[in-house]
Amino acid sequence: MLLSRYLAAAAAAALAFGTLTAPAAAGEENGGAGCDPVVPAECLLPFPNDWYTVHDSGTDTGRRVSLSPAAMPHNVLGQGMDPAEWNRADGFSPGSMLLAQVPGLDLARTGAAPLTDIGASLRRDAPIVVVDADTGERWPYWAETDANATDPARQALIIRPARNFLEGHRYVVALRNLKDAAGHPIPAGDAFRTVTGPQLRRGHPLYERQQAMRGVEKALRRAEVPPKGLNLAWDFTVASERGLSERMLHIRDDSFAALGSASPSFTVTDVVDNPAVRQVRGTFQVPSYLNQPGGPPGSGFHYGSDGLPSQLPGNTQTALFQCEIPRSAFTHPAKPALYGHGLLGRESEVGSAPQLSLIAAHNLALCATRWQGMAEEDTLNVAATMGELGRFGTVADRLQQGVLNGLWLGKLMTHPDGLSSSPAFRSDSGSPVLDTGAELGYYGNSQGGIMGGMLTAVSTDVTKSVLGVPAMNYSTLLNRSVDFAPFQQIMDQAYPDKLTQQLGFALIQMLWDRGEANGYAQHMTSDPLPGTPRHQVLMHVAYGDHQVSPTAAEVEARTVGARIHTPVVAAGRNPDVVPYWGIPSLREPARGSAMVVWDSGSPYQPLTNTPPLAGRDPHSDPRRSPAAWDQMYTFLTTGVVADVCGRAACTASAG
């Protein structure tokens, strides 16, 4: 059903582009205003890049993004991307994929670190070097070329961090000793040789670019990266903690300050008693910080004079909720937990079979609302943004409002005057079925695992979360997910050039960071955001997942400091030189954050940026496992990661 909605949205959007003429020849506009001249293939390359920033003493990084409208990608309609939302940022995404284009590059002949050997990225002689210029530390990554590109001249080189970059830090990237498929050295481009050569006179077209490059060269010398064989180098600054999170923290703190000690208002609309559970549906009111009444799809933040989201007078959201309460709660009040639904879904997912089995096995009450921004009603808007990427801020802003709605539902679950004040949440004897004295938990799957990481990072009530089949960083996830196929149709019509598409992913990730786990991962666990407690997360990953790439889940685990259950999978199942590189082993039982891989026999995911198509999709298998339920409940109630797999690899039944 949901896939058919994706396809319908894709078809409608693609129709708008399908009869249009082709765009201008690739790269013919480069060299214009705002472009970096060192990579002539495409304006904005290499990216991210401090060439596209300016000094700003008013930001935490001392820089501000300054992208020009002429430099931004245009779709086949000629519609550019207004850079205003991007230019609010004081740096680039902490999960930035590093993009360049090197004609004739062969990564295997070059010896660049592939996905299967991340440790090789830290070799002293590695041909691709990423250095934290603030600390001198070499940064782990893997390199790949865009497997979706059909024109070698338009194939992106993609360097992905194996652990998110640190907020506010400056990084330097160097490509050296590159080779083509015949093993021949690839020379540096003319412009790069010029800016790294003898001092240019003032007024030379590349003088300013050379001045900026001198700082890069200095950082490389400090890192003991010699200039010999250098093909390309550049630097970029990562956005600060405040730059990434201040909008979300502001609407959280502003709304709860206005609420004070009261409970949010709510209305119960429907109660259904079943033999195993009671289902309660209703609505609740949340302040809206969006710029249209009620904040419908397509709306963005309304900003006040201080540059932060501001509530229009009287603007509220009527959010939906659905709760599933086990019969055991009618004699012993149940532990309350928020539930997060999957991609472009709705709150009713909380009542699906795996969740009902979980609460029947354990005395856990689950309530859900919608992830506004990427909920069912947002499908058409999300589809439209793939055809006009400049609109993507509306998705990111509504996602933050959706997280706020989740926080308010959590308050309703734990406040004595909240849901427990309604007869729908009381037993026949009048006792509450929710344990309002218990700490609120969180459990979500798929998109609920991704967005749950963000909700966890900003929640003052939840300190323990189970993230089912999670990951972060949609710029990594989209090409690697079967779910993106319908939206890929739209991008192919609107932005047919694959190099432009990769730039588009990198750009929208900068805004997506404000409304998904990637922008909050550094603070998800032991380094909390202001006014927020420390948290623990338990990540349940499906081996070979077709929808949410385990590759991106591993990056998240490294970033949040999770340890991994071992043995992870049976011998021979993982193709890596060092399987699960950089994720330390977990010795259970233990406290802290953890990643557990559940293997139901599906093949390993592709080693390229393409979706898995072989075998069956194991995406839903972990949530159906009784052993996984036991581990989840123990974690949510005690914070202990229990070994439920008998000191062996964890397996889940297929299907």
Domain final residue, candidates 221, 239, 257? 239
Model-level pTM?
0.96
Q: Which parts of 173-262 fold into alpha helices (H)?
A: 190-195, 207-222, 241-259
- Shared domain check, 248 and 183: no
Average pLDDT score, the chain: 95
- Shared domain check, 634 and 555: yes
pLDDT of residue 217: 97
- Assess if residue 610 is contained within a domain: yes
Residue-wise pLDDT tens digits, 573-604: 999 999 999 999 999 999 999 999 999 999 99
pLDDT of residue 42: 87
The pLDDT confidence band at residue 19, using thresholds 50, 70 and 90, is: very low
At 644, is the secondary structure helix, strand, or coil? coil
Between residues 20 and 558, which one has the greater pLDDT?
558
Domain that holds residue 250: 240-438
Residue-wise pLDDT tens digits, 64-101: 999 999 999 999 999 999 999 999 999 999 999 999 99
CA distances (Å), 625 to each of 80, 353, 360, in order?
A: 48, 12, 13
- Shared domain check, 611 and 466: yes
For the chain, how many helices (H) and strands (E)?
14, 22
If one counts every other C-beta atom within 10 angstroms of the C-beta of residue 265, the result is 13
- Assess if residue 21 is contained within a domain: no
- Shared domain check, 448 and 362: no
Identify the H or E element spanning 405: helix 393-414
Using the 8-state DSSP alphabet, how is residue 332 labeled? S
pLDDT of residue 502: 98
- Shared domain check, 574 and 446: yes
- Shared domain check, 529 and 407: no
- Assess if residue 12 is contained within a domain: no
Mean pLDDT of 353-380: 97
Between residues 10 and 205, which one has the greater pLDDT?
205
- Residue 565 is encoded by which pair of tokens? 């259950």
The pLDDT confidence band at residue 346, using thresholds 50, 70 and 90, is: very high
Domain final residue, candidates 390, 412, 438? 438
Residue 3 has pLDDT above 90, yes or no: no
Round to whole Å and give the CA distance between 288 and 311. Answer: 6
Least confident of 34-48, 149-163, 363-377: 34-48
Residue 520 has pLDDT above 90, yes or no: yes
The pLDDT confidence band at residue 16, using thresholds 50, 70 and 90, is: low
pLDDT of residue 40: 82
CA distances (Å), 475 to each of 341, 423, 567, in order?
A: 21, 46, 30
- Assess if residue 252 is contained within a domain: yes
Which amino acid is residue 242, in one-letter code?
R
- Assess if residue 216 is contained within a domain: yes
Mean pLDDT of 111-119: 98
- Shared domain check, 223 and 277: no
pLDDT of residue 655: 79
Domain final residue, candidates 239, 273, 301? 239
Radius of gyration in angstroms for the set of CA atoms belonging to the chain, rounded to a whole number: 25
- Shared domain check, 460 and 336: no
Residue 149 has pLDDT above 70, yes or no: yes
- Shared domain check, 248 and 296: yes
Between residues 15 and 431, which one has the greater pLDDT?
431
Residue 5 has pLDDT above 80, yes or no: no
- Assess if residue 23 is contained within a domain: no
- Shared domain check, 285 and 234: no
pLDDT of residue 34: 80
pLDDT of residue 1: 44
Through-space distance between the first and last CA atoms of the chain, rounded to whole angstroms: 19
Identify the H or E element spanning 354: helix 353-361
- Assess if residue 63 is contained within a domain: yes
pLDDT of residue 8: 55
The pLDDT confidence band at residue 304, using thresholds 50, 70 and 90, is: very high
- Shared domain check, 406 and 346: yes
How many structural domains comprise the chain?
3
pLDDT of residue 21: 39
- Shared domain check, 452 and 434: no
| % of the chain with per-residue pLDDT over 90 | 94
- Assess if residue 455 is contained within a domain: yes
Mean pLDDT of 103-130: 98
Residue-wise pLDDT tens digits, 551-579: 999 999 999 999 999 999 999 999 999 99
Residue 385 has pLDDT above 50, yes or no: yes
Round to whole Å and give the CA distance between 67 and 215. Answer: 21
